[in-house]
A = this chain, B = another copy of it.
Amino acid sequence: MAPERADAARNRARVLDAARRLVSAHGPGQVSMDQVAAAAGVGKGTLFRRFGSRADLMAALLDDEERLSQRAFLFGDPPLGPGAPPLERLRAFGEHRIRYAHRHHALLIAAGRAAPHHRQSPPETVIRAHVRILLAAAGSSGDLDAQADALTALLNPEYVEALCHEGRDEDHQIRAWASLAAKLCGH
The 8 Å CB contact of A150, one of B115, B143, B153, is B153
| Residue interface bits A102-145, CB-to-B below 8 A is 1, else 0 | 00000000000001100110000000000000000000011101
Interface residues on A, range: 20 to 34
Contact B154 A168 (CB under 8 A): no
A180 lies within 8 A of chain B by Cβ? yes
State the oligomeric state as a number of copies: 2
Contact A168 B150 (CB under 8 A): no
A119 — which chain B residues lie within 8 A by C-beta? 159, 162
User: Nearest chain B CB to A134's CB is how many angstroms away?
Assistant: 16
Answer whether A151 and B150 are a contact pair too, CB < 8 Å, given A142-B180, A143-B175, A176-B143.
yes
A159 — which chain B residues lie within 8 A by C-beta? 119, 149
User: Nearest chain B CB to A164's CB is how many angstroms away?
Assistant: 12
A182 — nearest CB in chain B belongs to which residue?
Answer: B142
Name A's B-contacting residues (CB within 8 A).
115-116, 119-120, 141-143, 145-147, 149-151, 153-154, 159, 162, 168, 173, 175-177, 179-180, 183-184
